[in-house]
Amino acid sequence: MKNSNFGFIGIGNMASAIIGGILSTNFIKPENIYMYNHHPEKMQHFVDAGCIPCTSLGELAETCSTIFLCIKPQVFPDVLLKLQPLVANKKANDVLFVSIAAGITFQNLQSALGADRLYVRAMPNTPLLLGKGATSLSRTSNVSSDDFKQICDIFSCCGLVREVPEEQINAVIAVSGSSPAYLYLLAKLACDYAEQRGMDRKTALDLFCQTMTGSAEMLLNSGKDPQTLIDMVTSKGGTTFALLGVLREHGFDETMLASFAACEQRAKELSM
C-alpha cells in the first residue's frame, strides 16, 4: 500500500481534531491531506492551512490511499454505498479505510466495500482537540504492522494510542470515547453545588480540574490501584467516608455500570 495521500470524509469535530494534530506536528504535509465535506465551508480552515478540498467523494477516492471515514454512524450506509463503486477499480491492498464511527463494525465495512480490503477502526475522544486525546485502534488481520504503525502515529499526534481487539472497541467507548461527558457532568455538579454554597464558580472549576488532573497523575504514577487510593482518602467517620456512603446508598456503582452497558449496547445498535 502506498501511503502518500490521506483523505478525510466528514470534516466535523473529530476529523478537525485529527487533521489539526497532524498539522501541528508536521507528521504529514498539508498538500498530502485531502478532504471532502458536503458543506464545503467546513473545510475552509484547513484549506487556509494548505490542505486540499475535494468537490466530490470520487475525487478523494481517486487520489487517496488512506481514507478516514469521519461521518456520523447514521450517515455511513449512504456514504459507503457511494464510495463502493468509486474504489471498485482499486486493488484490495491499495487502499486502507479508517473508520472512527461508534458501532460500525469491520463486517459492516467489509460487506459494503469488500471483504479483503484493509480496515482500521478507531475510537477517539474530544480531548484530541487539544492533542490530549485517547484513541483505541483495532485492525483487520490483513493490515500490515507498518501500515498499522502509520495509523497509530497519526493518532499519536493527538494524544495516547492503544490497540484493542475489535470485540472490545464498543466497551472502550464507556472508558474513553464517551467518558469525557460523565467527567464534565461531575465537574458541572460540583460547580453547581459550590455556587449554591456561595462560592465563585470559576474558583470551584479550577479546584475541581486540578483535582482531576492530580488524581489522574496519582492513578498513573503512584503505583497504587484505584481502591487503595480511595482508601487513602477515606478515614472512617470522616468527610469522604460520608460522601461515599451516600453514593453507595443511592446505587452509584450500579448506576455507572448500567450506564457503561447502555453505552456499549447503543454502539451495537448503531451497527449497520
Positions touching ligand NAP (CB under 6 A) are: 9-14, 36-39, 42, 70-73, 75, 78-79, 100-102, 123-126, 177
Phi, psi for residue 124 in degrees, rounded to 5: -90, -175
Which residue number, 71 or 95, has a Cβ lying nearer to ligand NAP?
71
Which residue number, 43 or 143, has a Cβ lying nearer to ligand NAP?
43
Least separation in angstroms between residue 97's CB and ligand NAP is 13
Least separation in angstroms between residue 78's CB and ligand NAP is 6
Least separation in angstroms between residue 249's CB and ligand NAP is 32
For residue 253, give the amino acid letter.
Answer: D
Least separation in angstroms between residue 191's CB and ligand NAP is 21
Residues contacting residue 98 through CB under 8 Å, at least 6 positions apart: 66, 67, 68, 69, 119, 120, 121, 122, 151
Which residue number, 84 or 234, has a Cβ lying nearer to ligand NAP?
84
Q: Is 6 in contact with 33 (CB distance < 8 Å)? A: yes
Q: Is 13 in contact with 129 (CB distance < 8 Å)? A: yes
Nearest residue to ligand NAP, using CB?
12
Q: State the residue for C-alpha cell 502509520.
A: 150
Q: Which long-range contacts (CB under 8 A, 24 or more apart) does 139-146 make?
A: 139/163, 140/106, 140/110, 142/93, 142/116, 142/118, 143/96, 143/118, 143/119, 144/1
Least separation in angstroms between residue 205's CB and ligand NAP is 21
Which residue number, 96 or 174, has a Cβ lying nearer to ligand NAP?
174
Q: Which long-range contacts (CB under 8 A, 24 or more apart) does 24-31 make?
A: 24/131, 24/157, 25/157, 27/153, 27/154, 27/157, 28/154
Which residue number, 11 or 19, has a Cβ lying nearer to ligand NAP?
11
Least separation in angstroms between residue 133's CB and ligand NAP is 9
Which residue number, 32 or 178, has a Cβ lying nearer to ligand NAP?
178
